[in-house]
Chains A and B, each alone.
Chain A
Amino acid sequence: MSVVETKALVKRFGDVVAVNSIDLRIEEGEFLVLLGPSGSGKTSLLRMVAGLEKPSDGQILIGGKDVTFMPPRARNLSMVFQSYALYPHMNVFRNISFPLKAEGLPYEERKKKVEWAASIFGIEHLLHRKPRQLSGGQRQRVALARAVVREPGVFLLDEPLSNLDAQLRATARDEIKQFQRRIGTTTIYVTHDQVEAMGMGDRIAVMHLGNMHQLGTPQELYREPADTFVATFLGSPPMNLVKKDSCIIGFHPEHFLPEDVLHPETATFSFAFEVTRVEYLGADRFLYGMVQGAEGPTRIISKVPSLVTLNFEAGRKYTFVVQESDLKYFDHASGKRIPPLPFTTVEPTAQAVVS
């Protein structure tokens, strides 16, 4: 259980800056998710922490010790690769005991620990199989068991669920989270799936093109996105963004509701919403449509809970509103979050749309 810190960590591959000056501090026992689209530098960052990639610049500290130039084996961490990287020539037992062998543990102790690790993931009956005789889900468990058996200071997981089918993924997500809680090991978990990230992370670091855009709890990221990238990357469907003259305004689809639904006394911001398509999803309805932005019509989505029984038809215009407190304001040029602009400066445009 160690604190992991990166200080101004940089990784360049030729001209590509894969990781651009990242400062992170992952607390003891914390579950940190690195979230970002493909090519955002998540794997590169993780591999530098593991010691598999040399940083171009910056520092890595594990448990307060500078390990920047230490080989992986000196860092007391374990890693689960996306491919699981099981040793194909060893059976499951030898796979799991391989890290213990490196420590020179005698056979009896290794056996005890392997059985303990196997029991966590319910794979005791597979110990004599070779990796090629296992299903995807079983392989993933073997890889996890091999990662915990050494009781490392840090866990690194690189998209460990992406090779599983959707159903297995949900249960595996739960399992990983539960055992991490139980043994309380500092964990860095890489994913490009925001649902996975929101569900599992104590905190999430959102990355894009090598830069860290925001670091915070799932709630913070959702409620207070630092910029338009974070806003549009999280949530399904993601936040709506509409360009206005002085800024970009953003609001979540579930906050974009028919006029009649909201309390009349709250300060609201209204739009003429032209519905183009209605999608019924059981608990919710998604309304896809257009509103008028500063640079012409903008596609946005409304998520209407099934409690609202109003009828909506494609092709018609309705008046939809957002509570003023649910509006986020972003800078036009940088996309960065800015303090709320005085309501009146924006309102005339909105009113104009309504009328």
Chain B
Amino acid sequence: MTNGNYILRQVARYGLIYAIVTLFAVFAALPFFQMLVIAFKSDADFNNPRENIPFWFNEAPTNEHLTYLLEETQYLTFIWNSLLIGVFVVGITLVFATPAAYSLARLTGRQGERLGILIFLVYLIPPTLLFIPMSRVVSFLELQNSKWALVVIYPTFTIPFCTWLLFGFMKTIPKDIEEQAMVDGYSRFGAMLRVVLPLALPGLLTVVVFSFMLTLHEYIYALAFTTTSSEKPISVGVTTELVRGDVFFWQSLMAAAVFVALPIAVIYNLFLNRFVSGLTMGAVKG
């Protein structure tokens, strides 16, 4: 009897948990689904929302907008630009943030954490404030209207952000281990390379993912510093080329967004836990 009760209660419990989780999952997936549906809607179907339900096809789906996106805009170039910018910015970020985070984590006392927070604050300065002074820098470097301007500018916010993120990871690596490596015959740099970095690998991967994301969805700098289509990254390219005056090419826009958003959503989810723990680690264990 009691056993039966127990099983019943467990079923009810997990039933409830799964119901709630499913609800949230559906809620989170709905925009993606909506985008996919719209991407393949015909104009007639899309422009008649009063009679047609927006969530499904009322007329046969069409791929004409996808074709338009691929053939009439430089969609693939945008993606390529974003990738290129992303890869370079990630590289630059790793080169600067790793040693910075390492040395902050190894400072004695709480100085490291305070400095880390100061550096993180830089990340919070909005680009709307900075893009005018930045344009001086860009023109000084003669990078106007070039994706390379973004490669130079993006590290100004990815480095502070990722330094803080890595700081949390580095803090959790015991100092003993690298000192042991130094006694075992390695220089401090050698110890960092062979012991600290392998142990910080989850943190480094997280940095790769998140600095890439940060560059991918950046809008204001990209809008300010790239004007030729062939130089635009995806965030600006799609929104400027598929919105002409007050005409929105909705289906093509949705298609452009969803094919970039889906893979990112998947990767993001894989890293979310680590990301959160990385952000809070330094603060809690400091």
Contact = CB atoms under 8 A, between A and B. Distances in A.
B174 A83 contact: yes
Nearest to B173: A88
Nearest to B199: A89
- Interface residues on chain B, size class: 10 to 19
Contacts of A78: 183-184
Interface of B is mostly: helix
B183 A79 contact: yes
B176 A71 contact: no
A98 B176 contact: no
B187 interface: yes
- Interface residues on chain A, size class: 20 to 34
B176 A81 contact: yes
B199 A85 contact: no
A52 B182 contact: yes
B177 A85 contact: yes
Contacts of A286: none
A71 B182 contact: yes
Interface centre among B181, B183, B187, B198 (most CB of A within 10 A): B183
Interface string B173-206: 0101101111111111010000100110000000
Contact of B176 (A73, A85, A150): A85
Nearest to A89: B198
A150 B185 contact: yes
A85 B180 contact: yes
B198 A98 contact: no
Given A52-B179, A79-B180, A88-B199, A71 B185 contact: no
Interface string A62-100: 000000000111000111010101111100000000110
A73 B199 contact: no
Interface string A114-145: 00000000000000000000000000000000
Interface centre among A73, A78, A83, A98 (most CB of B within 10 A): A73
A347 B105 CA distance: 64
Given A85-B174, A88-B199, A102 B184 contact: yes
Interface centre among B184, B187, B195 (most CB of A within 10 A): B184
Contacts of A71: 182, 187-188
A73 B183 contact: yes
Interface of B: 174, 176-177, 179-188, 190, 195, 198-199
22 contacts: A50-B183, A51-B182, A71-B188, A72-B183, A73-B183, A73-B186, A77-B183, A78-B183, A78-B184, A81-B179, A83-B174, A83-B176, A87-B177, A87-B180, A87-B181, A88-B177, A98-B184, A102-B184, A102-B185, A146-B184, A150-B184, A156-B183
For the complex of A and B, 6 pairs with smallest distance between CB atoms: A102-B185, A85-B180, A85-B176, A99-B184, A79-B183, A72-B182
Given A52-B182, A89-B199, A98-B184, 20 more contacts: A71-B182, A71-B187, A71-B188, A72-B183, A73-B182, A73-B183, A73-B186, A79-B180, A81-B176, A81-B179, A85-B174, A85-B176, A85-B180, A87-B195, A89-B198, A102-B185, A102-B190, A103-B185, A146-B184, A156-B183
